[in-house]
Amino acid sequence: MNEIRREELYAVIRQAAKIPAHVLINDSSRFVQDLGVDSLDLVGVLLSIQDNYDFELTDDEIGAIACVGDVLSLMTQRGLKLSAA
C-alpha cells in the first residue's frame, strides 16, 4: 500500500489500541495523554501500522513518536503518499 488515508490510519490506531468511538483521533492526538495508550499498547499500535502499510520504524524513531502526526510524518518520509481524500 503506497497511499495513506488519514481516516484509515485513525481506524488502525483505534482498533489496535481499543480506543472508544467517542474519542477523537487527529494528527495532533498524543498517544499517551490524549488517547490513553500505554507504552505496551503503543508498541502494538505501531506494529499494526507497520503491518498495514508495509514499512518499518527504527527503535530511535519509535522512541520519538508522541502523536499521530509523528507517525504520518515518518510514513511520508518513507515514500508513502498522503491521500487528499
pLDDT tens digits along 19-61: 999 999 999 999 999 999 998 999 999 999 999 999 899 999 9
Residue 64 host element (H or E): helix 59-64
Residue 82's pLDDT is 87
- Sorted by where each starts, the structural domains of the chain and their CATH numbers stand as 3-82 (1.10.1200.10)
The pLDDT-based confidence of 83 (bands split at 50, 70, 90) is confident
- pLDDT tens digit sequence for 59-78: 999 999 999 999 999 999 99
Question: What is the pLDDT, as a whole number, of residue 85?
Answer: 60
Q: Catalytic residue positions? A: 38
Report pTM. Answer: 0.91
